[in-house]
Structure 1
Amino acid sequence: MILLLFFIAALAALSIGLHWLIEQPGSITLDWGGYHIETSLVVGAAALIATIAAIIIAWAIIVYFFQAPARLKQGSRAKRRERGFQALSRGIVAAGAGHLAEAKRAAREAVKNLDKEPLTYLLRAQVAQLEGDRVGAETAFHEMTQLSETRLLGLRGLHIEAKRRKDEEAAHHFADQAHQLTPLPWAGHALLEHHGAQANWEEARIAIEANLKAKAIDLPTAQRLRAVVETALALEKQAEHPSEALHLARQAVKRAPDLTPAVALIGRLLAHHGDSAKALKLLEKAYAEQPHPDIAEAFLEVAPSESNAERLARVKKFVAAASHSPEAGILVARAALAARDFASARKALAPLVAEGKTPTAQVCLLMAELEDAENGPSGPVREWLARGSRAPRDPAWIADGVISRRWAPASPVTGKLDAFVWATPPEPVRGPTEDARADIPAAFLTRPERLLEAKAEEEGATA
């Protein structure tokens, strides 16, 4: 509407101007080369305007003909780019779907029409990966690192290829390069895994702070990882620098109160400093909140020189606040067996083997040991050994398929920090024997001590 009003106003102004020009008296006279031309002012102005328009049109025609080859070339280039991008689109979709033949055809067409386009390197790398051509994939990723637009993508591709061929140093090198350019989450996690695998705890602390600053991890995650690294440092320093180790373990517990290995370590270090009373109080409180074998083991180490009867009395008091826990019953039963208090051992294990309950392998072995110690080799001993061979496994520290009796700050497989969790291991696949009973070695049917020793050896080998 506004443009229409402007157009009407311009027409009105032009009409008024022409009317004014026509009414003005005067003429234009031109003498040139023997010619004498005389005309009115309006006709002269019109002739001038027509001459200027003709010159402009002629110049445009000349320029058009001179620029025609360039325009044709540009149009051809635009068509090639369009075909190239269409090929890129088809190729990336085909590579994602695993259609190798279509992806290769599209890659060839894309390279032909878009040789310097960054995405063509990505498509070439994907095709090489589909073919299993690791050298070709690494070559494409390396070429991507030469371009600023795809440098980070190329470094990540090289990192992944290095991990696939199990070249940890090369994988760390590429992750470190990417992290220096831009602190990305994948690079930060890769650095943490490398330092965890190498037990470079000070470097791991620096990497945690860098990841937090770059917002690659949130604050709760950073606090947890800080606690894990501080516990690892404390474990390293507990022998030569116990005071420093105690400070680190306390820091770890402040950051992650549920980090059981740090709590157990504090108890041991306090006892090492001669403050057994404080250690016992700390461990009793921790066990009441979270009954865990690591805390119980630390508790038993506080007074190793006591008699078996004294230890049994102390253990009963220790587990009083967590008597409902299966771990408490197992701990009391072990102490009672050592003190040859069979009644207390049987009472502690009774809730775990009651009707409707499914005792674990450890509970079954304790029952077998109890029956053997109290009544000698007998039918109940063999029965409990047989049940133990089929019973669910007891909880343990597990990380990336590795089962360990001891906690570790990082996975031994990947180096991932805080990978170990306390959980029940998956059950192994068992096959029945010819008589449909569990296949129990004959040596284990005579003395339960052999089964206990074998289980300890198996757990040690697994760790």
Structure 2
Amino acid sequence: MVRILVFVLFVLALAAGFAWLADRPGELSVIWQGQRADMSLMVAATLVVSLIAAVMFCWWLVRVVWTSPHSIQRYFRARKRDRGYQALSTGLIAAGAGDAAGARKMLTRTKGLLSADQEPLIHLLEAQAAMIEGRYDDARRKFELMADDPETRELGLRGLYLEARRLGASEAARQYAERAAEKAPQLPWATEAALEYRSEAGDWDEALKLLGDGRSGSAEEKKVHARRKAVLLTARAADRLDADPKGAREDAHQALKLDENFVPAGLIEAKAYLREDNLRKAAAILERLWKATAHGDVARLYVRARSGDSATDRLKRAEKLEAMRPNNAEALYAVAEAALEARDFALARAKAEAAARLSPRESAFLLLADIEDAETGDQGRIRHWMNQALKAPRDPAWTADGITAPEWRAVSPVTGRLDAFEWKTPVSELQGPIEDGSAGAVDEAIRTLPPLAIATKPARAEQVVKEEKAEAARPVVVAAVTEPAPVKIATMPEQAKADAASQKEEERPFYGLPDDPGVKEDAVAKRDGTSGFRLF
């Protein structure tokens, strides 16, 4: 574009010069070698311009002839280079598609057209071809040569890192990742890998140093950076909680500034305040977290914040949590558990049943079984609630990569992934064996329960006398009982049936009557052989 503009300006200037000479005619006389030549000024200008053009044309012609061998050589070199790049591109595509024969063929053609010293991608094609063909040792040696070259260092280190991960050499992979992160901190894969390895080793200071300040990047990248920094600060606070509660509190506070609803950071800060005997600040943190998340760990720590509290004091604190988040399953469960410890069975039963309605889960039914055992000792109802617990979903827990942990952790012990633990219901098998330890304990408790004695209740004394006489007149038949059949009283009056039905309706729990009604004290006491029988 610039050249065209200069050419146009030159032509315009030349035309303007000729126009100016045409407006001012004159004569020009030249005497040379005794000869005199007379001409107009316009003709003289035309001759000068023509002479200059002829000289320029001659110079161009001589230059073309002089440089023609080099130009021809450069043409064929460029053509050869283009063919080499075409073969290299085809080879990389074949390697990516898994075509080992095509990649090897294009590699041979590329080496014949291009120099490996001039084009580093040839080394990459050769390494990928070796990997496709299963020659991993050759590929690893090629990656090592690439790692020693400053131009291909990052590419070679990534290849070595992936090979180490494939072979399960964690230490070698960590060294390659840290070397790449040190040489090129802008590489995301190197930073991620080095961060995970340092976090897995518990080197939180180095991990935070490697993470950096995160000022640059998009809004989403800044959000991810803030989350990771909060996780690392919380992990460091958890390690420092026993030895340095103040330092742990500061780290947890910084983590809460980055993520105000991060429950593990809030729990650690509250525990640090409790170790410093500052119950007011610890309660304020837990109350704010409870209003935002209604987390079960927050409720447990809040209710048992002071070790010297009585069961009644713990019940009051649990009721305070319920007032903050009414109709919440975690709040109802906390109140029910505290009421059971305070021996307030009516309140415990009401809150536990409400919690089971809102969120049917294992712990709610086990708590109902504990309440039944502590209040009535009714083995049938205890069996019923334990059976419900076996069928109910498991309680939410800190879960990562298919495993659960009693407390939050920063790194998954399975994959080493940072910030892998989430508070959710663990995955359970459908219609399969229950592998959870608590379920096994419940099953064992059910198996060890004593046998039940089931007794019938006569309606009236007159009816009992009639049945005794009829029973005495019948022959005695001994048979093996395979399944207990329901006891029916054919001559029970209608009023007695209505009374029994209303009594059963009042005793019916919200999940229905248990399959095994158990033993009633008034029915067991002073019964004779005609009014009941034992299954076992």
Give the TM-score normalised by structure 1. 0.76
Deviates more, 1:102-111 or 1:54-63: 54-63
| 1:347-383 Cα deviation digits (max 9, x unpaired) | 11222333xx661222233233333444436344334
- Cα distance in 2 for residues equivalent to 1:234 and 1:311: 28
| 1:253-293 Cα deviation digits (max 9, x unpaired) | 23321111221222222222222344334323432332112
Q: Any unmatched runs of 5+ in structure 2?
A: 40-46, 450-536
User: CA, structure 1 residues 432+270, in 2 after alignment: closer, same or farther (shift >3 Å)?
Assistant: closer
Secondary structure of the 1:204 match is helix
In the alignment, is the contact (CA less than 8 A) between 2:302 and 2:317 conserved in 1?
no
In the alignment, is the contact (CA less than 8 A) between 2:127 and 2:139 conserved in 1?
yes
1:202 is matched with which residue: 205, 218, 223?
205
Kindly report which structure 2 residues correspond to 1:53-452, keeping only aligned pairs within 5 A, or say none: 63=66, 68=69, 74-114=74-114, 115=116, 116-184=118-186, 185-209=188-212, 212=214, 215=217, 218-354=221-357, 359-376=360-377, 378-431=379-432, 443-446=444-447
Amino acid at match of 1:169: E
| 1:305-332 Cα deviation digits (max 9, x unpaired) | 3333442233222332123221112222
User: CA, structure 1 residues 62+270, in 2 after alignment: closer, same or farther (shift >3 Å)?
Assistant: closer
- Cα distance in 2 for residues equivalent to 1:267 and 1:208: 26
- Cα distance in 1 for residues equivalent to 2:211 and 2:104: 42
1:26 Cα deviation after fit: 5.3
1:199 Cα deviation after fit: 0.7
Report sequence identity in percent.
34
Amino acid at match of 2:155: L
**Greater CA radius of gyration, 1 or 2?**
2
- Cα distance in 2 for residues equivalent to 1:221 and 1:329: 35
- Cα distance in 1 for residues equivalent to 2:440 and 2:241: 44
| 1:373-405 Cα deviation digits (max 9, x unpaired) | 444363443343333333222211123333212
User: CA, structure 1 residues 145+340, in 2 after alignment: closer, same or farther (shift >3 Å)?
Assistant: same
In the alignment, is the contact (CA less than 8 A) between 2:328 and 2:355 conserved in 1?
no
User: CA, structure 1 residues 432+61, in 2 after alignment: closer, same or farther (shift >3 Å)?
Assistant: closer
- Cα distance in 1 for residues equivalent to 2:11 and 2:320: 100
Amino acid at match of 1:224: R
- Cα distance in 1 for residues equivalent to 2:156 and 2:209: 25
Amino acid at match of 2:363: Q
Amino acid at match of 1:408: R
Give the TM-score normalised by structure 2. 0.67
In the alignment, is the contact (CA less than 8 A) between 1:377 and 1:447 conserved in 2?
no
The count of aligned residue pairs is 425
User: CA, structure 1 residues 199+307, in 2 after alignment: closer, same or farther (shift >3 Å)?
Assistant: same
Amino acid at match of 1:180: E
Secondary structure of the 1:344 match is helix
1:112 Cα deviation after fit: 3.1
- Cα distance in 2 for residues equivalent to 1:53 and 1:439: 101
Relative contact order (C-alpha < 8 Å, sep 6+): which is higher?
Answer: 1
1:124 Cα deviation after fit: 2.4
Q: Any unmatched runs of 5+ in structure 1?
A: 30-37, 449-463
User: CA, structure 1 residues 141+215, in 2 after alignment: closer, same or farther (shift >3 Å)?
Assistant: farther
1:407 Cα deviation after fit: 0.5
1:188 Cα deviation after fit: 2.1
Amino acid at match of 2:419: D
Deviates more, 1:361-370 or 1:195-204: 361-370
Secondary structure of the 1:403 match is strand
User: CA, structure 1 residues 219+440, in 2 after alignment: closer, same or farther (shift >3 Å)?
Assistant: closer
User: CA, structure 1 residues 39+78, in 2 after alignment: closer, same or farther (shift >3 Å)?
Assistant: farther
